[in-house]
Chain A
């Protein structure tokens, strides 16, 4: 498949995913997980996935914000205040980006 068709496939699946925003926060031994990175970010996702499946990183919090306003939130037991704060920040960032794009299109149409 060409790069353009890759991009179009990704765009199509992304547009479908715009209806919901997923934000997840993991914690653990990040340095061990990223040991094989060697400044090459291409395999970062794989390393992070391996870190999650290998038990080096554990899910602390997960939030799913739907376009109709529904929110599904998962928080691990005994989550620290700082961790919660970082997660909330990430949720706010994601919300802001999504609403900026939606507002721009609604303004222009």
Chain B
């Protein structure tokens, strides 16, 4: 297996979310913030994509509690310590750290509480008192005993339990069963009246471990609800089995339950992952050992110093930045368009209803305005003659019914008001449509203008690149012929 394969494997792990995207400058900060918040050193996970005062303060507190060198800066030791204390599947190298941490270490105590709460055994999490923590730890020990974990018994100390507490795989591989049923033997120490409670706790424990595994494999699980044992993983489980080969899939009835078969599948996947990891490590080690170490380092350094590689790296970063920018812009536009469409669909009916009323009102008023003569009936009491310029002649029969005459007069007044109101709204609507049309046309013009400016930037970039290429050529010539 080549380094290219290693690169591809790392890329896949990054895209799966199992490894931090170190290429993205904000990712390490994001990871630090998340882990420090889980341990209670930060009140919130969100923050700027840089080392701000809050993160620095949290790092100082953590480094003090973890007995690390206090710098307030993220560094290798801090990262490794957070990896082993908070990461669900820390690297084997970092796991060795656990044995070296003293019992009095404050961050270790906090991390134990966090783990126990994630496993559904300590609802109060890092705020739990020592008695509650001790009880939860005892329950955890009993659960390991019930799973027949080798080397764990009634007398096992906390330090021995840490190996299982901080390494999820160490627990998952010990979960056994036949078919869908788990193989759990309730320890003798559990009294008869507490047996049912213990089995409920075991159920929550197994469900939470399954939730974490699903989360690690990228399925949608609300991990922050684990402590309260309220995480719904039905859909995540269904998706998990949907992704599994048909021969492995249980019947639909069992696809929504956490069963022994689920852990068998998880362990099988884990074995494949470990095998690949071992293969990769072996290949990398072989490759490194096959070369003279100094030569290897020299090549790497030379490669790093190459102007072209730096330029290429810079261009890659710039391209990534532009891509992200366009992606975000596109997402924002799509979201806006979606909201606008939703608003239009939901309001369309009422808008059209209102517009139809406006046109109806205007139509009635208009009919009265343009109708030249009004003769209500053969023996009309009033006849009104309209002119194009709104001049009006009213002819009234003196023997006619005056109440009818007044009624007709009122009708005409009302019609004129309706016409006036309708025209006002139509004028406003026309103005609105005009404005929308103007906005759309202006936007296109702006876009066109921006693209023209962008073209200038590209021209500049090409010229600059050519200049850089020339410099590189000169550089190479100078190195090849130092005397020339």
Contacts and interface: CB of A to CB of B under 8 A. Distances in A.
Interface string A91-106: 0111011111101100
A59 B400 CA distance: 17
Nearest to A17: B389
Interface stretch (B15-23, B46-54, B413-421, B439-447): B413-421
A107 B428 contact: yes
Most chain B CB inside 10 Å of its own CB: which residue of A60, A87, A100: A100
A86 B409 contact: yes
Most chain A CB inside 10 Å of its own CB: which residue of B395, B412, B419, B426: B395
Contacts of B419: 96-97, 100
Contacts of B400: 30
Interface stretch (B128-136, B272-280, B374-382): B374-382
Given A41-B375, A48-B395, A87-B394, A107 B431 contact: yes
A44 B383 contact: yes
B427 A103 contact: yes
A93 B412 contact: yes
A90 B398 contact: no
A45 B383 contact: no
A89 B410 contact: yes
A44 B387 contact: no
Given A18-B389, A108-B431, A25 B394 contact: yes
A78 B388 CA distance: 32
B406 A85 contact: yes
Contacts of A86: 382, 394, 396, 405-406, 409
B423 interface: yes
A99 B424 contact: no
Contacts of B399: 29, 31
B370 to A, nearest CB: 10
B385 interface: yes
A18 B390 CA distance: 8
Contacts of B417: 96
A28 interface: yes
Nearest to B375: A41
A38 to B, nearest CB: 9
A23 B406 contact: no
A22 B416 contact: no
A29 B391 contact: no
B388 to A, nearest CB: 4
Interface string A7-39: 000110011011001111111111101100101
Contacts of B426: 104
B80 interface: no
B391 to A, nearest CB: 4
Contact of A48 (B383, B392, B402, B430): B383
B138 interface: no
Contact of B398 (A11, A28, A34, A103): A28
Interface in A57-82: 57, 60, 82
A26 B396 CA distance: 6
Nearest to B383: A30
Given A104-B426, A108-B430, A92 B395 contact: no
Given A31-B379, A107-B427, A108-B430, A11 B412 contact: no
Contacts of A45: 385
Given A14-B387, A85-B406, A26 B420 contact: no
Given A31-B379, A34-B380, A96-B416, A104 B423 contact: yes
Interface of A: 10-11, 14-15, 17-18, 21-31, 33-34, 37, 39, 41, 44-45, 48, 51, 57, 60, 82-83, 85-87, 89-90, 92-94, 96-101, 103-104, 107-108
13 contacts: A21-B390, A24-B392, A26-B395, A27-B395, A28-B395, A37-B375, A82-B402, A86-B396, A89-B413, A93-B416, A94-B416, A97-B420, A103-B424
